[in-house]
Structure 1
Amino acid sequence: MQTRALGPFEVTAIGLGCMNLSHAYGKPPPPEQGERVLLAALDAGVTLFDTAALYGFGANETLVGKVMKPHRRQFTLASKGGMAGVPGDDGMLRRVIDGRPDTVRKNCEDSLRRLQTDVIDLYYLHRWDKQVPIEDSVGAMSDLVRAGKVRSIGLSEVSAATLRKAHAVHPISAVQTEYSLWTRNPEIAVLDACREIGAAFVAFSPVARGFLADALHDVSTLDAKDIRRSMPRFTPENYAANLKLLPGFKSLAQEAGCTPAQLAIAWLLHKAPHIIVIPGTTSVEHLQDDVGAASVKLDATLIARLDALINEKTVKGQRYSAQSASEVDTEEFASVA
């Protein structure tokens, strides 16, 4: 598989987002299934594995640590802090964004323990805590680099302005943000900002949370705890409108000689050489399909047709609810359908 630069590392252009194995899309698969997916990714040549303290409130890091420890020298390990599970008054864990330096350091120590490693190759601030100057959070992360606990640092879901402030404190190796045909926000500014400072752009949800993989036809079948239930694009009315885009998309995949998921990922890889893609899945079959996107070649005409078919003007609904949107720092288009 082709490789791309990620800070001081050279990683496969397609990595594995591990979140799905423990978090977000309803009841997670059994650990044994998660283990099969992780090892299948390794066998397929994937060299970037991405997790976070938040995913499963530590369960995902624990799984990755247990399964991947014997293979630690074979891949680049990324994790995230600054957003984790904190016990409430009832003892139940709740997601809390906290970018205070002491919390960032504690999150890292907890992650190192769960991941069963002495160092995290790429450590992200999962969300910018807007109550804390970005310079303070990144300063704490730079301390972790100097202490040898982290090799490089990144940011998730930030604007170009925040990225530049952070980069002035310590070199930022990567920005991770949702990017796909139906989520074009990075094209406003942060994608170019990454290129300018020499950072990689790591695209999560490249197949639009299953939409571009032609994997979800009826939103009423979603698990009660599936995060897509709170996303405007997945309301019955909006999703019905969005499904009308799929026949044309599938036709273009046929022309390209690939599957819909491969077309979505290949489109991203053709966009810019500093983009790395981290699809997530609970299926070995889907994993192998995703990785196959690395060999898909797209000509400029087909890319232009894709751009015209699915974009911020043709997709119905915003990507996040008002609450979730308030927690990120990404640029937004002036108006969203």
Structure 2
Amino acid sequence: MPSTKSARLAGRTVSRVGYGAMQLERLHADRDQAVALLRRAFDLGVDHVDTAQFYGNGFVNEVIREAVRPGDDVLVVSKVGADPDPGGPIPLRLAQRPEELRASVEDNLRALGLDRIPLVNLRRADRRPGVLAEGDQVVGLDDQLAVMTALRDEGKIGAIGLSSVTLDTLRRALPAGIACVQNAYSLVGRDDEDMVELCVAEDIAWVPFFPLGGAFPGLPKVTDEPAVQTVARDLGRTPAQVGLAWLLHHAPNVHLIPGTASVEHLEANLAAGDLELDADTLAALDAVPTRSLDASLG
């Protein structure tokens, strides 16, 4: 049984339940509350924060810069592949070209007040969910990895991750040295099981986004599953906690980055790391059918 407490990520041992900072933009009108939420997370043992410059058009990175203090030893992870677009139909636009990836890293460094970002994920745009690349935003993986590797060699980033990638893309990228993969993955959406196994074999962290499903209309929700609800009742926990705990038990390289703008919800998410699931419970959850992401999205 893998430890639900800590595991390696980008050369560091960190708590397996971190914090995804995207939801901090909901506190845009109350910066002090956003900073206080992050400080509470650190007090509770969070030492891995996932962010991006396009979260809240830079607001989230500025909050992280204010909240992280000397001695906190927090692993800050960011991503590139999109930039803020506050006036657009959605608040981001793809930025996949090599020069855009470099500029995005520089923007993250300035906003976070860092000389080096320990881990930067390259968010590809060739699979759903999310915006798909068109026109000049259809960029070859080799060209993207070349600039990411150069940024690592220059010391501006510590490690390279990938996001929203296929199994073939990950295999092609392995020679560049990949520290983690972020894909949509949950109990009810296990399309990438072969990729999880490859990441375990290659000592690559698996950091699922949408860990409870249901992020887009048409996607199933883990918390709606009768088996999950039954386990939650039996254990006196919430269905969300059961869904998160299943991920931690499923593979030893899983790191969670659930996000919230609520201290109460933050504490509930972190408590999922203390939830132990026995073999019978895991078998019941493993039997929940997985639904193809592409089929769910139509």
TM-score, normalised to structure 1, is 0.77
Is residue 7 of structure 2 the alignment partner of residue 7 of structure 1?
no
State the one-letter code of the partner of 2:59: A
CA distance in 2, matches of 1:116, 1:316: 39
How many pairs does the alignment contain? 285
SS of 2:276's equivalent?
coil
CA distance in 2, matches of 1:4, 1:197: 14
Alignment of 1:19-98 (within 5 A): 19-22=22-25, 30-68=30-68, 70-71=69-70, 73-86=72-85, 95-98=92-95
Is residue 127 of structure 2 the alignment partner of residue 123 of structure 1?
no
Task: For residue 97 of structure 1, report the CA deviation from its aligned partner.
Answer: 1.8
Is residue 175 of structure 2 the alignment partner of residue 183 of structure 1?
no
Task: For residue 258 of structure 1, report the CA deviation from its aligned partner.
Answer: 2.5
SS of 1:5's equivalent?
strand
Q: Give the match for residue 149 of structure 1.
A: 156
SS of 1:180's equivalent?
coil
Task: For residue 280 of structure 1, report the CA deviation from its aligned partner.
Answer: 0.7
Segment of structure 1 superposing worse, 251-260 or 172-181: 251-260
SS of 1:137's equivalent?
helix
Percent of aligned positions that are identical = 34
State the one-letter code of the partner of 1:163: L
In structure 1, the gaps of 5 or more residues are 210-227, 323-337
Q: Give the match for residue 102 of structure 2.
A: 105
Cα RMSD of the aligned pairs, angstroms, is 2.7
Query: Which segments of structure 1 move beyond 4 Å, counting only runs of 4 or more?
Result: 91-94
Task: For residue 247 of structure 1, report the CA deviation from its aligned partner.
Answer: 4.8
SS of 1:60's equivalent?
helix
Q: Give the match for residue 134 of structure 1.
A: 141
Q: Is the 8 A contact 2:241 2:272 kept in 1?
A: yes
- Equivalent of 2:237 in 249, 258, 268: 258
Task: For residue 136 of structure 1, report the CA deviation from its aligned partner.
Answer: 1.0
Q: Give the match for residue 247 of structure 2.
A: 268
- Equivalent of 1:206 in 182, 202, 211: 211
CA distance in 2, matches of 1:61, 1:316: 32
Task: For residue 231 of structure 1, report the CA deviation from its aligned partner.
Answer: 2.5
Per-residue deviation, residues 269-324 of structure 1 (Å, max 9, x unmatched) = 000101111111111111111111111111121112122235328x9972x5x6xx
CA distance in 1, matches of 2:281, 2:29: 36
Going from structure 1 to structure 2, the CA distance change for 1:146 and 1:73 (only over 3 Å counts) comes to farther
